[in-house]
Structure 1
Amino acid sequence: MAAPNRADRTYGNWRKPRSPGLGKLGLLGTMILLGGLVAVVLSMMFAGLIAAGVVALVLAVVLTPLLIQDRHGRTALQAATARIAWWRGRSAGQHLYRSGPLGVVPRGTHRLPGLLAASRVVDAHDSYGRPFALIVLPQVGHYTVVFECGADGASLVDQDQIDTWVAYWAQWLSALSFEPGLVAASVTVETAPDLGHRLNREVRGNLDPGAPALAKKVLEQIVHKYPAGSAQVSTRVALTYAAAPRPGAKKRSQEEMAREIGARLPGLARNLAMTGAGTARALSAAQLSEAVRVAYDPAAQALLEDSHAAGEQLDWNDAGPAATQEAWDHLVHDSGVSITWAMSEAPRGEVLSNVMTGLVAPHQDISRKRVTFLYRPYDPGTAATLVERDRKDARFRITNNNAAARDTVAVAAADQSAREEAKGAGLIRFAMLVTATVRSKEELPAAAAAIDTLAPPARVQLRRVYGAQASAFAAALPLGIVLPDHLQVPALVREAM
């Protein structure tokens, strides 16, 4: 009997919350507009027409930067603020970093720069007694544990199995909303050329001296030819917890955080295996240090693999680069040059499960590529409030007669999100960072063109992180950096714009 026809499962309905307001203005801009109009009327009543005209001109000057937006949704005010902050930081020399014996780091170590300068790694044990590393960011009180996953991949796998993995992944993300103290999660897929050192050590270590000459010759040819053109793909999942379980609560100590996180690791790792991530194991301090060191200094990969095989371990204080120099649109770090992009818009329509395959796959024009998906789950109470507020805001925008077709579609999407949340679905904020690393500046145009080619098939809109390449590069590493918690502008003001 012929198999019944099955429709391909699609995914979508991602919504970017918008602040309620008039036209392109958000809540803050609308309040400024209404307050300015009141000031114009009062000026006309008490000071005359000329004074009212001056107030109206000032109001127009203030609102114009909020009305001008680029294709990524950034206003002229945000662009100007970023440019001014870059000029100030460059004048103060903040774009340069030097470590080591001749650097500015105490004791001549190679500590990480920027947001990770104060970070440290502590050793802990889970409920089964297995060791794992805990990354501590004391400036924000965050503790991060990183899993190394042996992802199965979707090659030669039935579509039904892929759909099952996606369903379990959705359940795993939704369960994060009930994790006490969890503030963020990230998934990093990194591709790099395989140097063949591990294969060489494996073959040499298991080669029988008495083996036939033909067998030895075949193995030698495999060792020399197999790594050519192959890629090494690593998948890491990072979970970040806050020392304060809720705003205003007392911060827990380092020992308490290590004990509580260690008790939850076995269950989280076991559930990850059902999502197609394979066997998940928490990384040690030495493994984390090596991964970060290779990200900043790709040329050190072969040396670190040899030293790791010899039993030597890299310390966290020496995991950073010897030198970095940040430019407006790229970052120079030790033996590599990188560009980082951020997702400015998620896919508008429905997509298939393999939509990100091309973006995360290795590319011949990019020496090392890192795609990081960032998640920040809402707790169930906050999620219910947000979906209802988003639903009201979407309906508010279609109350006028000139409502756009996109606003009408947004209402249907907001209603669907509210229904799904009421049935128990989780609400998660998500973003994406893409980092392309090459060996020299001359290779940057080819790498940038490759990312521009890979983004459209993935149905995402990427924007280069101008003026913040160093911070974006660090945030794309699986180290648990939650960028909104490091910004000086309050979240309430950012959301109202």
Structure 2
Amino acid sequence: MTAQCQLVESLGPDGRPFAVVAVPTAGRYTAALTCSLPDSPSVQAELADRWALRLAAEPDVAQATVSVEYAAGADRAVARIAISRAYGGGSGARRKAGPGAAGWFSSQLPLWARYLVSEGAGQVRAADPADLCVLARLAYDPSIAAFLAGGRAPVPEWTDVPPAAFREPWARFEHEGAASVTWSLSPEVTSGSLPEILAWCAARPAGASAGRVSVLAAPAPAGDEPSVRQGALVTLTGPADDEWAAQATESLAARPRIALRPAYGMQAGAFIAALPLGFGGTRLIRTPRVGK
């Protein structure tokens, strides 16, 4: 799906570049912010839950995704906050992409950054094209983390992001030399369940090389009371073999308080929806929650 999208560089009011991803299949543009987080899973959960609800309630926002990432080779979690806008400007529009999205994001990203700082985020900045290329490439191929960190590999281009080979069995998604399992949080996202999920991902169970917890929120259908719909996707990435995927699932079963369901039959779609790139995931969001 990444091969069907376009990555565009735009300039913010401070003259710094930021990236806009155009996703034709979802009919939307997406830009992202990146920030550091406190180490406490309970604080991370509270912030992710609150940020997703708040940003999804903003005018013209089609979806907000807050991803807490435990990337390969990283010692601390990083948050990526992706905000999507439909091509026509509203959550339900489906028109041909126009040039106004870059200007809209340029005006809104500084406001959202100030909001995140006021809520406890650290070192907030807009993600530029290189940030998103590295993020997506590492998601598909965690083995290159050490090469990128050591300067032994060039920063990938957007055309380098899609995996050279992939396969989607019923309960996992195999890509390059790795495999990922993605679960959806059911029945609803609550700050009470997210801390344990985040702690579980941070521990990288079953020898996982990377983990990601993404809270997604979108406006409720027109005609409903002012509210947003919210859900979450959780991804672990490890070796491309049956044994690892089984071990990851077993480690989750040992934690009965975590009510996650594997995204059976749609692992590739759930994997990409969990990335902060604006690929959708709306059909995985079902529970109405009142936006504040």
**Category of TM-score, reference length = shorter chain:** 0.7 to 0.9
Q: Secondary structure at the match of 1:189?
A: strand
Unmatched 5+ residue regions in structure 2?
287-292
Partners of 2:136 and 2:76 in 1: how far apart?
16
Offset at residue 272 of structure 1 (A) = 0.7
Q: Name the structure 2 match of 1:405.
A: none
**Cα gap change, 1:370 to 1:326, in 2 (>3 Å):** same
Q: Secondary structure at the match of 2:119?
A: helix
Return 475-484 or 316-325, whichever deviates more. Answer: 475-484
Pick from 166, 169, 174 the counterpart of residue 54 of structure 2: 174
Closer, same or farther: CA 278–378 of 1 in aligned 2, 3 Å: farther
Shift of 1:168: 11
Q: Is the 8 A contact 1:174 1:427 kept in 2?
A: no
CA–CA distance in structure 1, aligned partners of residues 158 and 58 of structure 2: 31
Bigger share in strand = 2
Q: Pairwise mapping of residues 69-468 of structure 1 onto structure 2 (< 5 A)?
A: 115-154=1-40, 166=46, 170=50, 173-174=53-54, 176-179=56-59, 181-194=60-73, 231-246=75-90, 251=95, 254-307=98-151, 312-346=154-188, 351=192, 354=195, 356-365=197-206, 366-378=208-220, 382=222, 385-387=223-225, 427-441=227-241, 442-454=243-255, 456-458=256-258, 461-468=259-266
Report the CA distance between 1:370 and its aligned residue. 1.3
1:149 & 1:248 partners in 2: Cα distance? 29
Query: Displacement of 1:362 after TM fit?
Result: 2.4
Change (3 A) 1:142 1:342: same
Query: Is the 2:73–2:145 Cα contact (8 Å) retained in structure 1?
Result: no
**Amino acid corresponding to residue 13 of structure 2 in structure 1:** S
Note the C-alpha offset of 1:189: 1.4
Paired residues of 2:36 and 2:78 also in contact (CA < 8 A): yes
The verdict on how the C-alpha distance between 1:356 and 1:463 changes in structure 2, with shifts beyond 3 A counting, is: closer
Looking at structure 1, the residues matched to 193 and 252 of structure 2 have their Cα atoms a distance apart, in angstroms, of 20
**Using a 3 Å threshold, how does the CA distance of structure 1 residues 120 and 367 change in structure 2: closer, same or farther?**
same
Alignment deviations for residues 35-58 of structure 1 (CA, whole Å, 9 cap, x no partner): xxxxxxxxxxxxxxxxxxxxxxxx
Distance 1:253-1:127 versus aligned 2 partners, 3 A rule: farther
Q: Is the 8 A contact 2:189 2:232 kept in 1?
A: no
Counterpart-to-counterpart distance in 2, 1:248 and 1:236: 24
Task: Report the RMSD for the aligned CA atoms in angstroms.
Answer: 3.2
> Percent identity among equivalent residues?
30
Q: How big is the shift at 1:250?
A: 8.6
What whole-Å deviation, never above 9, does each CA across 1:40-91 have from its counterpart, x for those lacking one? xxxxxxxxxxxxxxxxxxxxxxxxxxxxxxxxxxxxxxxxxxxxxxxxxxxx
Structure with bigger gyration radius:
1
Q: How many residue pairs were aligned?
A: 283
Distance in structure 2 (CA, Å) of the matches to 1:370 and 1:258: 27
Q: Give the structure with the higher percent helix.
A: 1
1:169 Cα deviation after fit: 6.7
Distance in 2 separating the partners of 1:172 and 1:369: 19
Deviations 1:151-190 (A, max 9, x none): 12338xxx9xx69x958974773354232x2100111112
Q: Indicate the residue corresponding to 1:38 in structure 2.
A: none
Letter in 1 for 2:164: A
Deviations, residues 451-480 of structure 1 (Å, cap 9, x unaligned): 2234x334xx21111111111111111111
